[in-house]
């Protein structure tokens, strides 16, 4: 009988449902609204701080760091009475300071004597990659000459040594997350004294 009564009076059920209070945001208690507002503001501030820290650290593009680990004479030959040809081997370390891959696009290692270029070669092949936060050592062979061993400004007659300059430059592209890309470059400039008799390298200084 009760089921029949409910079915026969559907309007009564609708009236009871309409009389129930609706749960709208305006009906929430004041404390609960303040609580959710505070959580929302704190979340936004936290996101801003995280983005700012990432922009200053992980997403900051840095130039590669170059270091001349060693330089050695591998061959000496005399072309004329006082003219010398050299073959040198340089160990250059390329350090990627970014959180993304550094791909080398252009590079060159140059030897100079009395300000004149006497030899050059590439530091690394084009397209060589350096992983994030890591370094890569490159061996560079450079044929240099001719050098006038009797030149007063660049030669030391008492020790049979010549003063040379070693310059290196590396340029490439840093890729972060495969989306953000920037061109970055690094260089180093060194001087050294080479003994033509003992093949020793002295007074190596870089900046």
What is the pLDDT averaged over residues 116-123? 92
* Alpha-helix runs per DSSP H in 57-138: none
For residue 110, what pLDDT is reported?
A: 95
Which phi and psi (to 5°) does residue 32 adopt? -65, -40
Which pLDDT score, from 0 to 100, does residue 170 have?
A: 96
Distance CA 174, CA 180 (A): 8
| Position 1 pLDDT exceeds 60 | no
Q: Which residues on neighbouring strands pair with residue 87, listed in sequence order?
A: 75, 143
The whole-number pLDDT of residue 2 equals 47
Do residues 119 and 140 touch, judged by C-beta distance below 8 A?
no
Average pLDDT over residues 99-122: 92
> Which residue spans within the chain are E strands per DSSP?
65-78, 83-95, 101-113, 116-121, 129-130, 135-148, 155-156, 161-176, 180-195, 201-206
**So what's the pLDDT on residue 105?**
93
Q: Note the pLDDT of residue 76.
A: 84
pLDDT in tens, 56-73: 666 788 899 999 998 998
The tokens for 55 are 């922009």
User: How many Å apart are CA 151 and CA 103, to the nearest integer?
Assistant: 41
Are the CB atoms for 62 and 97 separated by under 8 Å?
Answer: yes
Instruction: Name 9's Cβ contacts closer than 8 Å, sequence gap at least 6.
Output: none
Over range 87-106, report the average pLDDT.
92
Give the pLDDT band (50/70/90) at residue 16. low
Give the pLDDT score at 33: 77
Query: For 169-172, which contacts have Cβ atoms below 8 Å and span 24 or more sequence positions?
Result: 169/106, 169/107, 169/108, 169/123, 170/64, 170/66, 170/94, 170/104, 170/106, 170/107, 170/123, 170/124, 171/104, 171/105, 171/106, 171/107, 172/64, 172/102, 172/103, 172/104, 172/105, 172/106
């Amino acid at each position: 009988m009760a089921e029949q009564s409910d079915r026969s009076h559907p309007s009564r059920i609708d009236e009871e449902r309409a009389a129930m209070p609706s749960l709208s945001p305006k009906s929430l208690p004041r404390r609960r609204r303040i609580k959710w507002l505070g959580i929302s503001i704190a979340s936004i501030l936290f996101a801003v701080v995280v983005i700012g820290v990432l922009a200053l650290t992980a997403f900051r593009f840095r130039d590669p760091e170059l270091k001349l680990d060693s330089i050695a004479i591998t061959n000496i030959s005399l072309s004329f009475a006082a003219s010398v040809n050299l073959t040198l081997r340089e160990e250059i370390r390329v350090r990627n300071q970014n959180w993304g891959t550094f791909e080398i696009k252009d590079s060159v290692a140059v030897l100079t004597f009395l300000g004149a270029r006497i030899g050059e070669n590439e530091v690394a092949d084009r397209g060589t990659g350096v992983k994030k936060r890591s370094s890569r050592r490159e061996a560079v062979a450079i044929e240099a000459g001719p050098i006038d061993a009797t030149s007063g400004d660049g030669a030391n007659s008492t020790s049979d040594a010549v003063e040379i300059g070693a310059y290196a430059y590396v340029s490439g592209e840093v890729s972060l997350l495969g989306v953000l890309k920037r061109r970055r470059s690094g260089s180093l400039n060194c001087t050294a004294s080479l003994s033509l008799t003992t093949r020793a390298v002295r007074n190596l200084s870089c900046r």
